[in-house]
Chains A and B, each alone.
Chain A
Amino acid sequence: MGEGIVNDELPKRDDVRYIDKTRDYYRGEGYEKDYQWARFEEIPFTPLTKPLSQCRLGLVTTAEVSVRDAEVPDNLARDVYALSIDTPIDRLYSRKASYDKYATTLEDVNAFLPITPLRGLAAEGRIAGLASRFQVVYSNYSQRRSLEIDAPEVLRQCREDGVDAVLLAAV
C-alpha cells in the first residue's frame, strides 16, 4: 500500500466539512430543509478474487463528460450514459458546473477520469485492460433515484462489459 496515511494515523484533520458548510450555505440562501446526506452503518464488501493483472476495470465518473462536437446527453432526464473508452482524451470535456471553480479547473480530463494513467497500467500488464465504455452518472439530489435507477443501470452495463472491478471518481 503506497506512501499514504491511513485514517487513524492522520495527525490532524483539516479537510473541508462539506456537510456543515453546505448546510450553512443553503440555509443562508433561504432553504429551510437541510439536505439529509446518506448514512449507513454497514458497509458492503466484495473482495477481488483474481490477480489485478487479469482484471478488466470499469470506470465511472460524475463529471458530466461529453464528446466535443457531438450531441450532448439529455441533462434533464439525468440518466446514466456511457461513452467509448477509446474516445481520444482531447475530445472529451466536462460540462459540470458544480466544482470549486475558484480553486481549480476541469480542463484536464485525467484529473477526474484517469483514462491515460489506466491505459499506461494496462500497457504494462498491471491490469488486463479497461471496459470498452465508461459510465457517466449525474450527481442526484434523490438518493432513491441513485439507488433504484442509476446504480442498477451501472451494474447492468458493467456486467455486460465483463468488468472485474470498478473505479468511481466523484467530482
Chain B
Amino acid sequence: MSLVARYLEANGLPTVVFGCARDIVERCGVPRFVFSDFPLGNPCGKPYEPDMQRAIVEMGLDLLVSPGGPQPTFVVPFAWGDDTTWKEKVFTKEQPFLEGEDRDKWLRRKEEYRQLKAAGKV
C-alpha cells in the first residue's frame, strides 16, 4: 500500500496512509501516515466505534492540509485496550497468521500463480 501511495505522490496526487504496521510503512516511507497501534485489520478505528473512526479520518485530513513536505508519523491518541498480549502473540506458533483452510488456500494460490507465471500468463 505504501508503494501505491508513493507512486501517486510522485505523480501529483497527495495521499494519506492509514495503517497499523508502523515499522513497515516507515521503512518504505510515505509523506503522510496516520498510525493506529491496533491489531492488523482496523487502520481506521475500532470496529463499531463510529466516533473514533471519524476522529481518525479527521486526523488524516488534518495531515493532508499540513503545509511543508513529508510529515512525521502521526500516532492516534487511542489505545486498543489494557490487554496488550496481542502484541506478543501475533505471528507466533501459538497464533499462526494463516491456518487451516486459509493457509491451504494461500499455498494453493501461490502454486497456481507460480505455474501461470512460468507459462507467461501473468
Contact = CB atoms under 8 A, between A and B. Distances in A.
Nearest to A77: B122
A84 to B, nearest CB: 19
A147 B97 CA distance: 26
Given A19-B23, A25-B92, A52-B64, A43 B6 contact: yes
A1 B9 contact: no
Interface of A: 1-8, 10, 14-22, 24-25, 28, 37-48, 52, 58, 60, 62, 75-78, 96-108, 110-114, 116-118, 120-121, 126-127, 137, 139, 143, 146-147, 150-152, 154-155, 158, 163-171
Interface of B: 1-25, 27-31, 34-35, 37-48, 50, 53-67, 69-70, 72-77, 80, 84, 86-87, 89-93, 95, 97-98, 102, 105-106, 109, 112-113, 116, 122
Given A103-B41, A139-B1, 13 more contacts: A25-B97, A40-B29, A48-B64, A52-B61, A76-B116, A105-B47, A112-B43, A114-B53, A126-B61, A154-B4, A169-B19, A169-B44, A170-B2
Shortest 6 CB-CB contacts between residues of A and residues of B: A99-B41, A151-B7, A7-B72, A108-B47, A100-B39, A103-B39
